[in-house]
Amino acid sequence: MANFEFTPDQEAAIVSGSNMVITACPGSGKTTVVVEKIRNEVQSLPDYKGVIGITFTVKASKELKQRCKKDACDLKASFFGTIDHFCLSEIIYPFGSRLIGHFSSVIECKLFNEIPQALKDQLPTISAYSGDIKNDIYPTFEQDIKTLYENGYVLLELLGVMANHILSNSLACQNYFRAKYSSIYVDEYQDSSEPQHMLFLKLIELGLTGVAVGDTQQSIYAWRGSNPEYITSLTTQPDVFEHHIVNINHRCHPSITNYSNRLFNPACDLIPTDEIRVHRWSYQGTQLDVSEQVSDSILDIIEKGITDSYSKIGILVRNNISLEFLEQKLKVPFRIFDEDPLAVRNTRITNLFTSLLRYRFNTDYRVNDVIEMVERYIRIQEQQVPNLRRLIVDVMGKDHEELAESIIYTSENIFNCIVSDSDKALIHNICVDSKLLKHYLPIDENEVQVMTLHKSKGLEFDVVYHLDLYDWVHPKRLVVPGSWDVHYDNWEQELNLHFVGITRAKKHCILVTSSNRINYQHQVKNGNPSQFFDLPGLEGLYTQ
């Protein structure tokens, strides 16, 4: 890290000890800035204090912690994890019973759909609710939350709301944060929901220094309740938050940066470059034909030495159906990062199945990673850890039917429950299917990486093929009965997604369309180009 030359903007953000918002474009080195700030800060803290590092995914959290620990840096009493893990382990588990009520057993975190039906029948307000999850709903839900708590449950959907209520009303909780933490860092702040935003502001009120990092142009999770207006609101309070703009893209070739910036501002200044590396390619045929022709192009790229590994090539698509077309027709080694069946169910049992499979097949995934995952759902006492480790290690070395039974046994013992017949059938099916097991294996250096645009966020490739650039598909359009006007599902989110896709590319970005397309009903339609191609300011910034 000592060899890294920080830009003046990065340096200014690193040395300041104030509350701040860092708005950072893709490839700007924002994580490097956050890591440097945390490493500098913890050095001056006593052993009993630390910082809070909140990230959007478990994977990002692990990476942030590892980078901060480099060269044996002592992180003292710091917390690194997702916002859900933070709400549970730092607020709800230790302080919830003082405000919500006592419980007779271990508290478990579950989605509403996982709650037993007999208990759902006792939750009239939550069962009937269909609005947004915001802080002000706590009083309305209070009785239902207490009923759940008394029965040993907290709802995953309400973690932020509950954490805010506890932090606002528990003096012990407030004193705990004042004593233990000096700062809170939140990455991907544009993906925050209202309860998460309010929690950040409350911690600052308690005296913690707040650092919010994000980019409104990478906001792609509105359907989860995320809203970029919260990071924007921080930038409009200069008396509370310094605003540091880190907007030099060190990742992408200048022509890729120019094209992506012009998506939002057709008159923005262009970076000087003597080569255009954004390409618009239009093929004859449907997505199936595209898959074959992209294969030929990839072979050509490897042969020319544009990149030295298949794994440095990404194929990004808008919809899962496009993954099927690629799977049928790609002629190069590839790996599809689709929704594995365990992730689709997204319950504590299936998430533990996933964690155990990763531990079994990926040497970079350790026992402690499984334990961290378990702690998102139940509170683990120190004396329970040795037995927990023994249970987890039991899956190592087992294959097929034996592996499935070991995972079921381990899961039932960890969560003290009975695994359902449907979950048992699912894990048995996965353990004998080599294609499904690929989800849990480490990346192969010799495979092109194929995924949806949503899954590509945070990744980078030498070469990106951005497919599905058709009218109706991306940007996604809606059918409105009786109207001939063009209606988009969410233009802003679609454009952000397009931006994320383009800015994954370091050396070349290839925007692909074709004369025909197969729709989700498997009907062949005309492949009219995406409306994104008609945006002003892009002329001369791409080759054809």
242 phi/psi in degrees, rounded to 5: -70, 145
Give the span between the Cα atoms of 256 and 315, in whole angstroms. 16
- Residue whose token pair is 């074959």: 292
Give the span between the Cα atoms of 367 and 29, in whole angstroms. 31
Residue 20: which residues within 8 A CB-CB, separation 6 or more? 13, 210, 211, 212, 241, 242, 243, 244
| Tokens describing residue 303 | 């042969």
Residues flagged as binding site: 24-31
| Dihedral angle sign, alpha carbons of residues 158, 164, 167, 168 | negative
- Residue whose token pair is 């169910």: 345
CA nearest to 59, candidates 399, 422, 442, 342: 442
Are the C-beta atoms of 180 and 208 separated by less than 8 Å? no
Q: Is the peptide bond before 228 cis (omega within 30 degrees of 0)?
A: no
Compute the C-alpha angle 436/359/446, nearest 5°. 55
Give the span between the Cα atoms of 421 and 423, in whole angstroms. 6
Where on the phi/psi map is residue 315: left (φ > 0), alpha (ψ -120 to 50), or beta?
beta
Where on the phi/psi map is residue 416: left (φ > 0), alpha (ψ -120 to 50), or beta?
left
Are the C-beta atoms of 162 and 154 separated by less than 8 Å? yes
User: How many other CB atoms are found less than 10 A from the CB of residue 400?
Assistant: 12
Give the span between the Cα atoms of 413 and 397, in whole angstroms. 19
Residue 416: which residues within 8 A CB-CB, separation 6 or more? 106
- Residue whose token pair is 């994000």: 214
Give strand ranges (E) for 35-123: 50-55, 79-82, 108-110
Please give the full DSSP string across 138-167, using - where no structure is assigned: HHHHHHHHHHHHHTTEEEGGGHHHHHHHHH
| Tokens describing residue 517 | 């397309």
Are the C-beta atoms of 256 and 278 separated by less than 8 Å? yes
Residues flagged as binding site for ATP: 24-31
Helix (H) or strand (E) holding 511: strand 505-514
